[in-house]
Amino acid sequence: MLRRVLHRLFGSKKALRNRAIVLSRRPNGEIRNGDLTLETFDVPDIEDGEILIESLWLSLDPYMRPQMNDMESYQDPILIGGVMPGEVVGRVSNSRSDKFQVGDIVTCHAGWQEYYVASGSEDGIHVVEPEGIPIQAYLGVAGMPGRTAYCGLMYLGKPVVGETVVVSAASGAVGGVVGQLAKKQGCTVVGIAGGSKKCEYVVHELGFDECINYKEGNLSAKLKAACPNGVDIYFENVGGETSKAIVPLLNEGSRVPICGFVSVYNTKSPESVETPMHIFGSMDSPPEHRFFLVSEWQDQHQEITGILADLVRSGELKYRESIAEGLENAPQAFKGMLAGKNFGKQLVHIRD
């Protein structure tokens, strides 16, 4: 601590400046200008055992939106003035830790900022080996969304050859992986996405058997036609009317892994939302269903990351990215993602 104070008072070296996006005001419904602001401040010198990580790529994910509300959830709400949470791929630019070397490429929960000082013993910092795979893929198809898809499908969905799997938000970072993995398990896979281009991508590039454009209407009828044998696994990413359209099609013994319900994240009254847990739980014969977090399988983090990365290298696992350039454009990209304007994994490119 004394060394930091002396450096600030007498040091000749110009302080490194950090830019960060902070929560300045809690949104009332959709995010407005002024809810998120760009702040600049000095980066502190690192102490023994610490490392300095410079962010290269930032992941934007739907789970961040509920954390902006002041309400109880599985994660604590973001404090006003706090840096927005999020995972990055970064480079260790300075190290006083025996665990990390300068130049290491890592994933960590640095948040929406350009620099991050971390303890070398901090949980959640993982060195990645980007040979044959773009480093930003470790935030998407081979990262948290990919692991979420893998764990939700394989451990909760438990697919069996010949079963019918329906995936909402099928062109997204999680949904796209779910469908491809389900096809590898010998299932018939039907996606739900918003727009003809997304549906064409889901079928022709990702290999789903069919994809329904919910924006065209008649979702219930189209799902019934696409799933003549009913639905055995519904992977939930959206909630709302999409969940309700699935209810009549669920077979006896069906499973519903609930990853999220993005359709209601911008509601002005989140405490009164009808969640998928309410919808499926109120059925006369409820399917096996529950909300899950990928952290439940944290002990398999590296193993599953390796499986997904190998599938990407071999070309067996395909994906698409939407990229915003510069940290200052993260809020607009985040708002667009919540409205479904992204195509595939939403990322922010901060530096090469």
Handedness of CA 57, 184, 224, 195 (dihedral sign): positive
Cβ–Cβ < 8 Å for 96, 50: yes
The pTM score is 0.86
Percentage of the chain exceeding pLDDT 90: 79
* Chain centroid, CA 326 distance in Å: 19
Percentage of the chain exceeding pLDDT 70: 93
d(CA 140, CA 60): 10
The identity of residue 38, as a single letter, is L
**HSE-up (13 A, CA, CB side) for residue 151:** 25
Q: Is 268 left (phi over 0), alpha (psi -120 to 50) or beta?
A: alpha
Mean pLDDT of 264-274: 67
d(CA 163, CA 170): 17
Q: What angle do CA 60, 65, 67 make, to 5 degrees?
A: 115
Mean pLDDT of 91-120: 96
Q: How many other C-beta atoms can be found within 10 angstroms of the C-beta atom of residue 301?
A: 16
Cβ–Cβ < 8 Å for 204, 193: no
Domains of the chain: 2-136+320-349 (3.90.180.10), 144-296 (3.40.50.720)
Mean pLDDT of 109-118: 97
Element of type H or E holding 22: strand 17-23
